[in-house]
Amino acid sequence: MKILLFFISLISSSLLFSAGEYRCGSIECDAFQADVSDKASLQRGLSTYMNYCYGCHSLKYSRYKRVAEDLLIPLDIYENNLIFDGSKIGELMEISLTKKDAIDWLGAYPPDLTLEARLRRPDWIYTYLRNYYPDSTRPYGVNNKVYQNVNMPHVLEDLETNLSKSEYDQVIYDLTNFMTYVADPSAEQRKRIGTYVLLFLVIFTAFAYLTYREFKKDLK
Ligand code: HEC
Q: Could you report the per-residue pLDDT of 11-67, keeping only the tens digit for each?
A: 766 665 554 578 999 999 999 999 999 999 999 999 999 999 999 999 999 999 999
Q: Each residue of 134-156: pLDDT tens digit?
A: 999 999 999 999 999 999 999 99
Indicate the top mutation candidate among 54, 57, 148 to test ligand 1's pocket, ranked by most ligand atoms within 8 A of CB: 57
Q: Is 154 in the pocket of ligand 1 (CB under 6 A)?
A: no
Taking Cα atoms as reference points, which of 194, 180, 172 lies closest to residue 115?
Answer: 180
- Render the burial of 14-33: b for 16+ CB within 10 Å, e for the rest: eeeeeeeeeebbeeebbebe
Those residues with Cβ within 8 angstroms of residue 96's Cβ, 6 or more apart along the chain or in another chain: 85
CA gap 137, 150 in Å, rounded: 12
Residue 117, Cβ density class (10 Å: 0-12 exposed, 13-18 middle, ≥19 buried) = buried
Ligand 1 atom at minimum distance from 108 CA = 12
C-beta 163 within 6 A of ligand 1: no
- What's the CA gap between 58 and 95, in Å, rounded? 5
Atom in ligand 1 nearest the alpha carbon of residue 124: 29
Which residue out of 59, 101, 152, 182 has the highest number of ligand 1 atoms within 8 Å of its CB and is therefore the one to mutate?
152
As a whole number of angstroms, the longest Cα–Cα distance in the chain is: 88
Task: Determine if ligand 1 sits within 6 Å of the CB of residue 25.
Answer: no
What whole-number distance in Å separates Cα of residue 123 and Cα of residue 132? 15
What mean pLDDT value characterizes the chain?
Answer: 93
Q: Which residues contact 39 (CB under 8 A, 6 or more apart)?
A: 71, 72
Q: Is the CB of 71 under 6 A from ligand 1?
A: no
- Mean pLDDT throughout 90-106? 95
Q: Is 92 in the pocket of ligand 1 (CB under 6 A)?
A: no
> Which residues, at least 6 apart from 66, have a Cβ–Cβ distance to it below 8 Å?
185
pLDDT at 8: 76
